[in-house]
Amino acid sequence: MTAKPNLSLVTSPRPLPADHVERNAGVPLDLDVVRAIRVNRSAVERRAATIPTRRTVKNEWQAAWLLRAVTLIDLTTLSGDDTPGNVRRLCAKARRPVRDDIIDALGARDLGITVGAVCVYHALVKTAVDALAGSDIPVAAVSTGFPAGLSPVEQRVQEIRASVAAGAREIDIVITRAHVLTGNYAALYDEVRRFREACGDAHMKAILATGELATLGNVARASMVAMQAGADFIKTSTGKEGVNATLPFALVMCRMIREYYERTGWAIGFKPAGGIRSAKNALEYLYVMKEELGDRWLQPDLFRFGASSLLTDIERQLEHFVTGRYAAAHRMPMP
């Protein structure tokens, strides 16, 4: 008989009240801090290359880590052919992300496992909110001219307000990459600050589009400015760039989160997105968070995966743990 996983890593999918993190209020733009940032690319790449080899989890511990990963997923659909029907199916999967027989075999029924959020375009926010009624799963809306972020600023601000009014509790905004590439950090700060004000009570994730920022130094400086401007999360990518989430980007952004926390006391979340499709890759990002920021950053209020197909592979790995066999992907259908 397969051993049940040690679920000590998996508590509630939502943080306990004692774990509550105050929202980042932001700080005045400090150009001295921003311009002093330097990144040793070769050192970052060497460190990133060791992450998959320095730490590993097996058997019941791996099953526990993968259950935790499920609770950290922003289950996402951002396709041009999205319809209300497939968003409703996505929300049904968000409520019950792992098949009941697998959950029962793992002894995890009482944990109430759900994903971290459902992420959709503005036009489908209301559909998702209605489909998730009665649950505590938030709807996240991509906004501000996603994915390029090149529409007029006033239009982007209005888009945020419209998504919040429709019921979105989280807003994923995109920055103007040109502000970073030209070193106009004051303009970047003012833009992100306006977006944060438009979000109101909704949490704001600032998408940096790391693959389009040219250097790791630019990624680090953009991260710091976004946090100074009040971002609740910093996010790697829209998923639409040629290069999306990578471990070097994650390391640089986590180091900036740590520096900002040490300077201000505000804990900022991290969201890698784009190209994270395998359970193995998800575990690597969990290792990064544990080693760079600590266990507190392994909860949904401080870490999310932006993903669509990742859940299918995690579910397959969990079934393998339970049965010893890999199931066909269609046994874990996604919308």
What percent of the chain stands above pLDDT 90?
87
Distances (CA, A) of 133 to 179, 181, 183, 184, 317: 39, 42, 44, 42, 30
Residue 60 in domain: yes
- The upper half-sphere exposure of residue 288, i.e. CA atoms within 13 Å in the direction of its Cβ, equals 31
pLDDT at 272 over 80: yes
Residue 10 in domain: no
Give the per-residue pLDDT at 159: 97
Interatomic CA distance for residues 41 and 54, integer angstroms: 20
pLDDT at 219 over 70: yes
Residue 256 in domain: yes
Mean pLDDT of all residues belonging to the chain? 92
The DSSP symbol for 231 reads -
pLDDT-based confidence at 335, cuts 50/70/90?
A: low
Residue 156 in domain: yes
Residue 231 in domain: yes
Work out the number of other CB atoms within 10 angstroms of the CB of residue 106.
24
pLDDT at 237 over 50: yes
Is the CB of residue 171 less than 8 Å from the CB of residue 160?
yes
Distances (CA, A) of 94 to 219, 249, 252, 315: 31, 28, 30, 13
Give the per-residue pLDDT at 158: 98
pLDDT at 5 over 90: no
Instruction: Look at residues 104, 112, 2, 12 and name the one whose alpha carbon lies nearest to residue 62.
Output: 2
**Structural domain for 231, as ranges:** 30-331
The residue with greater pLDDT, 8 or 237, is: 237
What domain count does the chain have? 1
Q: What is the CATH number of the domain that holds 317?
A: 3.20.20.70
Is the CB of residue 173 less than 8 Å from the CB of residue 234?
no
Give the per-residue pLDDT at 53: 86
Bridge partners of 307? 75
Average pLDDT, integer, range 115-121: 98
Question: The whole model's pTM is what?
Answer: 0.92
Residue with token string 């999205």: 82
Average pLDDT, integer, range 251-259: 98
Residue 81 in domain: yes
Q: Catalytic: which of 74, 93, 271, 313?
A: 271
Give the per-residue pLDDT at 94: 97
Residues 6 or more apart in contact with residue 152 via CB below 8 angstroms? none
pLDDT-based confidence at 13, cuts 50/70/90?
A: very low
E strands, 122-188, are 139-142, 170-174
Instruction: Look at residues 14, 72, 3 and name the one whose alpha carbon lies nearest to residue 290.
Output: 72
Average pLDDT, integer, range 150-159: 97
pLDDT-based confidence at 11, cuts 50/70/90?
A: very low
Residue 13 in domain: no
Q: Catalytic: which of 74, 93, 126, 172?
A: 172
Average pLDDT, integer, range 308-320: 94
Give the per-residue pLDDT at 110: 93
Interatomic CA distance for residues 213 and 251, integer angstroms: 16
Average pLDDT, integer, range 242-260: 97
Residue 242 in domain: yes
Q: Catalytic: which of 74, 235, 301, 313?
A: 235
For residue 235, indicate whether it is catalytic: yes
Is the CB of residue 69 less than 8 Å from the CB of residue 302?
no
pLDDT-based confidence at 14, cuts 50/70/90?
A: very low
What is the per-residue pLDDT across 36-66, written as a single tens digit (0 to 9) for each?
999 999 999 999 999 988 878 888 999 999 9
